[in-house]
Amino acid sequence: MSNTKRRPIGEILVSQGLASEADIAKALDLQKQGDPRPLGQIILALTEVGSVDVVRVLANQFEMDFVDLDKIDFDASAVSLVSREYAWENIILPFRYEGGFLKVAIFDPLYTDPLQKIAESTGLKVKPVLATIEALDRALQRVYRGSPMHPSPLRPPLLWERKQDLRRLIGLFLKDFSSTSGRIMKISRMALGALLDYRWQSVRELMDAMEVASKRAPNDVIRMEHLPSKVRGSQAAEEGAQG
C-alpha cells in the first residue's frame, strides 16, 4: 500500500454526494464522545449511505480490491486452508488462490493480524480484499452450511442492547437540539426509560425520534406524550408483559 496521505472517508463520501458535511460532522462528534465503532460504521448508522458504498471508499483509500462475495464462487482448496473456527472468530474468508496470492476477504482494512498468521501457517503470500461485513456473514454461512453458526465476537452488540451508549447518545442529541433551537432541552424519567427500552435499529432512528419529540415539547421538557407512538407503544407493551 502507498504511504501517501489518505483522504478522510467522510471527505470522499461528501465529494461523491453520498453524505452531507453535517452527517460527517455528527459522526465525528459521536466518535469524539467515545463511540467505539469505526467511523465508517457510524456513518452507516447515521445516513442512508449503503455499506457497499462505504467499503468501496475504504478500498479506494487503502488501495485494495473490493469483492462482492454474493456473486463469486469460492475455491474449496483455498477455503480449507483456514479452520471454520478461525474464519468465524475473525470474520475472514480465504476464497481464491490467484496470481501467486491467497486472496482473503476481510471487512476492516486495519484488521490485518489474522492475515499474518495465515501467511505464516501456509507459507503463501496473502492478499487482503475488502468486502462488506454482511456479505462476509452470508459467505461464511454458505461455506460452512450445516455447521453450527454463532454470532461473530467482532460484531458489536445491537444499539438497543448498549444502554450506556444509548444514554450518551440521548444526552448528545439533547445538547445538539438545545444549541440549534436556543432552548435548554431536558427529558423526563419516564420518557428516558421508554427511549432506553425501545429496540432501536440504528442511531439515525433514535435521532429522528428525539427530534420529533423535541419539536412537540412546548416547555423544553420531553415527556412520554411527546415521543413517537411506536416508542410509547413499546413501553406500554413492556409494562403489560411485566404485569
CATH number at 104 reads 3.30.300.160
> Could you tell me the end-to-end alpha-carbon distance of the chain, in angstroms, rounded to an integer?
59
Domain boundary among 89, 111, 143: 143
> Contact, 104 vs 115, CB < 8 A?
yes
Domains: count for the chain: 3
> Considering 91, 118, 143, which residue would you say is the last residue of a domain?
143
Please report, as a single letter, which amino acid is at residue 216: R
Residues 87 and 147: their CA atoms lie apart, in Å, by 13
Do 168 and 229 reside in the same domain of the chain? yes
| Domain co-membership, 187 together with 215 | yes
> Over the stretch 46-78, which tens digit does the pLDDT of each residue have?
766 677 877 887 787 788 899 999 999 888 878
104 vs 76: CA distance, rounded Å: 13
Residue 1 maps to a domain: no
The verdict on 230 and 174 lying in the same domain is yes
Residues 53 and 74 occupy one common structural domain = no
pLDDT score recorded for residue 156: 45
For 98, phi then psi, to 5°, come to -150, 135
d(CA 122, CA 102): 10
Contact (Cβ atoms closer than 8 angstroms) between residue 222 and residue 213: yes
Domain contains 4? no
* Residue 2, in any domain of the structure: no
172 & 235 share domain: yes
| Eight-class DSSP state of 148 | P
79-83 mean pLDDT: 83
Rounded to an integer, what distance in angstroms lies between the CA atom of residue 44 and that of residue 114? 25
User: Cell numbers of 125, please?
Assistant: 503470500
Domain identity same for 77 and 29: no
Q: Which range, of 5-9, 98-102, 163-167, 187-191, averages the lowest pLDDT?
A: 5-9
Residues 47 and 96 in one domain: no
The alpha-helical segments, DSSP class H, found in 62-160 are 76-79, 84-90, 113-122, 133-143
Q: What is the per-residue pLDDT for 65?
A: 93
| pLDDT tens column, 115-166 | 988 888 888 889 999 998 888 888 988 887 655 444 443 344 566 777 876 7
pLDDT at 6: 63
Q: Are residues 132 and 203 in the same domain?
A: no
pLDDT of the residue at 201 = 75
Same domain, yes or no: 79 and 108 = yes
Task: Let me know whether 232 and 169 are in one domain.
Answer: yes
Q: How far is CA 99 from CA 65, 120, 166, 201, in A?
A: 14, 19, 47, 42
pLDDT (mean) for 229-239? 69
Do 95 and 121 belong together in one domain?
Answer: yes
Q: What is the pLDDT of residues 13-40, one digit of tens each?
A: 777 777 778 888 888 888 888 777 767 6
Residue 78 backbone dihedrals phi, psi, to 5 degrees: -70, -45
Radius of gyration for the alpha carbons in the chain, expressed in angstroms and rounded: 22
Residue 103 has pLDDT above 50, yes or no: yes
pLDDT at 157: 55
- DSSP state string for 202-220: -HHHHHHHHHHHHHH-TTS
pLDDT for position 5: 59
Range of the domain at 56: 9-61
pLDDT at 197: 92
Please give the pLDDT value at position 187.
95
166 within some domain:
yes
C-alpha cell belonging to residue 206: 433514535
Distance CA 119, CA 102 (A): 9
**One domain, residues 131 and 99:** yes
94 located within any domain:
yes
Looking up residue 174, the CATH number of its domain turns out to be: 1.10.8.60
